[in-house]
Structure 1
């Protein structure tokens, strides 16, 4: 008899020493109190620890549009989508979730009808950036004219945003508690040639954006030996924070779905680390390890 669904991510193997392809990481808050697992070591039974359980011996379908893409993101269903929602979808040559789309309807068991949003640049350097056909992921967007049916596997995450009361316009900005990729050595005069060789670092948003004051962020670095686990960068026990103004919003590449995990000493994962969605990681990360 089934009790309840436990949110989980599937490892591809190599994220941590000793973790093989097919291992699942379960949400500790959703685990039952009387879990029966005789092969699990005693130090893994506490709810304060991540539950890392071996995958059963059956072939699970791969999630994602490409066969080699063993995604760890949730498998969406029609119950996850509501008319009018804004979602980030995977797009571009590097297949990252930079494109925004409004949900129109679920048309098939695995397809959703959407209309894409289009950026509405305001500042001069934003207009020039847009003319260069470079991606814009924060600012003002309007509902465009392109409508398509997309496979659910192309959807990354729903987007929190402000909607105009009178027009089909949306404000989308990084929000406190989210994890984003930012371009390294970015400047607002980039051309397509600069963009093609971009590298990213990962940041945590510490304060919401407002047009009156700057946003605060902190740099994240990879937990050594753990490809998808990140922690705040420190120097002499001080966290390295900085501010981002409205003029620097183009420096953001895309949001990365993530959740905070308790420390796991067995794998040298510090307290309050983040587990990032592997599919949404930039193809080129700069100085990942601390």
Structure 2
């Protein structure tokens, strides 16, 4: 019995797999000419006979993506063996001409690049504004501003006695209750702390520094970096720094460094204050602190304002911390009769100092809260550091503010 094989492996009845040529049942398929089955075709003898198609060698010429999210696919160019080109054949369903295939753009990468570019532009604009403000401040600064080197040499006496040099050494009396010198001994200093330093104007603690490294405790030797500010634009348009005044609150940056070997130029440690990015430090009055404000302060002050007008102070308690919208809420303090450094809150003296008047604050005064049951003074009083109080306010008279 004859059988027809499909040309693929087939399994016989006995389980043997046989692979062979396709067997055609005799007489099942007839061609138009018997010569075609029995002998090779003679293509050159009979021009009427069509040559069977043969796969031609092709040279693929591909172009890269255009870069705009589309990928262009050009048609393959066909080259015959004899070097002559013939029209390219089209397959069923193939479109004519160049075809474009949509490729989804890398939206995540493009968005990230766009955001980075925008952020760089904003940062460059801000840096340029800061640079211009700094240049303007330096140009308008007074040439007779005292250098910080005088602060380094403000005292050459060791120990804990608070002695400062302005136009000569000033001996500070002891406070009524608390020993403030114990809070600024050699053992109190650590790296990355921010300390207040007495200035050379009238000896009040208006300057700041960052402790970079404690080199030695005994003898005392530390590496510090001064904090300063060349503008006061965070509080408005008043040219406070340009007129030679010292700003005690606002934004500060790390400037020059120095090695200090005398502990009594330091006033107090600023708690919870750390340097931010780029060495920026924000110092503002905090709730519960005691600050001295300029009693006769005016936005019209300039470098010709006499010292006797500027160097008059009032002690205040901070009731609410600084905000750009409202400023700082304060309450005035009055000295308790019979004491040099004890102050209590004055009744009905609460008021707000707005943002544009923040330069009214002169300096922070270290304080120690006195409880009624532990002292002979009335309740809600503070013992203030005499080293941060002007000499004329250290009398024992009553009602001095």
Quick one: distance in 1 between partners of 2:238 and 2:257? 21
Structure 2: distance between partners of 1:248 and 1:105: 36
Moved more, 146-155 or 122-131: 122-131
Unaligned runs of 5+ residues in structure 1 are 1-60
Whether the 8 Å contact between 1:258 and 1:277 is mirrored in structure 2 is yes
The alignment status of 1:187 with 2:285, answered yes or no, reads no
Alpha-carbon distance change, 285 to 69 in structure 1, aligned in 2, over 3 angstroms: closer
How far is the alpha carbon of 1:285 from its aligned partner?
A: 4.5
2:245 to 129, 134, 159: 134
Deviation at 1:181, TM superposition (A): 0.3
1:116 aligned to which of 226, 236, 261: 226
**Structure with more contact order per residue of length (Cα contacts < 8 Å, sep ≥ 6):** 1
RMSD (Å), alpha carbons: 2.7
Kindly name which structure, 1 or 2, has the bigger radius of gyration based on alpha carbons.
2
Q: 2:289 maps to which residue? A: 178
Summarize deviations over 1:179-216 as a string: whole Å, max 9, x none.
Answer: 00000121122123425112100000001112233321
Q: Distance in 2 between matches of 1:212 and 1:288?
A: 33
SS in 2 for 1:147: strand
Deviation at 1:166, TM superposition (A): 2.6
Q: Equivalent of 2:267, from 144, 148, 156?
A: 156
Is the contact between residue 126 and residue 250 of structure 1 (CA under 8 Å) also seen in structure 2?
no
The TM-score, its normalising length taken from structure 1, stands at 0.69
| Structure with more strand by fraction | 1
Decide whether the 8 Å contact of 2:194 with 2:274 is kept in 1: no
CA offsets 1:40-96 (integer angstroms, 9 cap, x no match)? xxxxxxxxxxxxxxxxxxxxx651235833454224344311211111011223211
Q: 1:276 and 1:266, CA in 2 relative to 1: closer, same or farther beyond 3 A?
A: closer
8 Å Cα contact 2:316-2:330 kept in structure 1: yes
Residue aligning to 1:74: 181
Q: What secondary structure does 2:378 align onto?
A: coil
> Structure 1 residues 289, 70: closer, same or farther in 2, change over 3 A?
closer
| Per-residue deviation, 1:160 | 3.6
1:161 CA drift (Å)? 5.7
Q: Does 1:101 align with 2:247?
A: no
Q: Report the TM-score, using the length of structure 2 for normalisation.
A: 0.51
Map Cα deviations across residues 229-275 of structure 1 (whole Å, 9 max, x no partner).
000112xxxx31000111111000100000111237985x2111110
The one of 364, 367, 370 aligned to 1:258? 367
Paired residue total: 225
Structure 2 gap segments, 5+ residues each = 1-158, 164-168
Partners of 1:288 and 1:135 lie apart in 2 by 29
